[in-house]
Every structure is written in structure tokens, then in C-alpha cells.
Amino acid sequence: MAKNELNKLAQEITQGQYKIQGKGTFKEEFVTCGGVDLKEIDFKTMASKRCSGLYFAGEILDIDGITGGFNFQSAWTTAWLAGNAIANSFPATARTV
Ligand SMILES: Cc1cc2nc3c(=O)[nH]c(=O)nc-3n(C[C@H](O)[C@H](O)[C@H](O)COP(=O)(O)OP(=O)(O)OC[C@H]3O[C@@H](n4cnc5c(N)ncnc54)[C@H](O)[C@@H]3O)c2cc1C
């Protein structure tokens, strides 16, 4: 990714502003609708298919579950997958604690 694209992405992630359009599918506002398109994600690692070395987890993804723990579970599971994939992307010698 070019440096100017990386800067743009960092700026969007840290300072992006979004307009709320209305209520979500389940009419309860516990979770945001929209986010990173799931077609752009490798679900085995949560890595972006568009940007090497970029991983996503939780509510930033376009996942919008009914309340009752599904959104928590989605956040925890995607974070676990991404965390493991990031750790495994380093050589084994760099992973010793
Ligand atoms: C009132 C309410 C009730 C809910 N009840 C339920 C429920 O019963 N069951 C359920 O499954 N889900 C529920 N949810 C949804 C659930 O809480 C979220 O889907 C889940 O917590 C998302 O996890 P996350 O880690 O992606 O994001 P978050 O938990 O929002 O964590 C994001 C973190 O990033 C930090 N952050 C933000 N910007 C920056 C920045 N620029 N730099 C550094 N840090 C930053 C924030 O401070 C925050 O700590 C509820 C949500 C709300 C608001």
C-alpha cells in the first residue's frame, strides 16, 4: 500500500465521521450496521483481502447480530482469529514469551 493511501486509511480509522441513517435490522441500537464488507475478509485469519497485513475484528465489520450475546461472540471470535493469525505471521522464534 502506498504511503499516502496508508495515511488516508489511518486518518479515516482514527478521525472518520459517519452519519446515522436510521434504525438497524432488529430495531434495537446495540450494535452498528455496516462496516468493512465481509467479502473483503478472509474468515480463517480475519485478514483484509485488499491490504496485506491488515486485520479486522468486532464491530468494525459488517456484522449486525440480534441482541443476546451474538455481537459479543462475534467480537471475541473474530479477535481470537485475528490475534492468532497476527501472532502466527511472525517467525516462531519471535513468539517465545
Ligand atoms: C448499550 C449496549 C448494549 C449492548 N448489549 C449487547 C448484548 O447484550 N449482547 C451483545 O452481544 N452485544 C451487545 N452490545 C454490542 C457489543 O457491546 C459490541 O458489538 C461489542 O462490544 C463490539 O466489540 P468491539 O471490540 O468491536 O468494539 P468496542 O467494544 O466498542 O471496543 C472498541 C474499543 O476501541 C476504543 N477506541 C475507539 N477509537 C479508538 C482510537 N482511535 N484509538 C484507540 N482506541 C479506540 C474504544 O474506546 C473501545 O474501547 C451492546 C452494545 C451497547 C452499546
Q: State pTM to two decimals.
A: 0.83
Concatenated DSSP letters for 25-90?
A: TTS-TTS----B-GGGEETTTTEESSSTT-B--GGGBS--PPTTTHHHHHHHHHHHHHHHHHHHTS
Residue 93 CA, ligand 1 centroid: distance in Å = 34
Domain layout of the chain by residue ranges = 26-90
Q: Considering only CA atoms, which residue is closest to atom 5 of ligand 1?
A: 30
Confidence band, pLDDT 50/70/90 cuts, at residue 97: low
The confidence score (pLDDT) of residue 64 equals 85
pLDDT tens digits along 14-58: 999 988 877 766 666 678 888 999 999 999 999 999 999 999 999
The confidence score (pLDDT) of residue 29 equals 67
Residue 79 CA, ligand 1 centroid: distance in Å = 12
The fraction of the chain above a pLDDT of 90, given in percent, is: 63
In 29-61, which positions are buried (b, 16+ CB within 10 angstroms) versus exposed (e)? eebbeeebeeeebeeeebbbeeeeebbbbbbeb
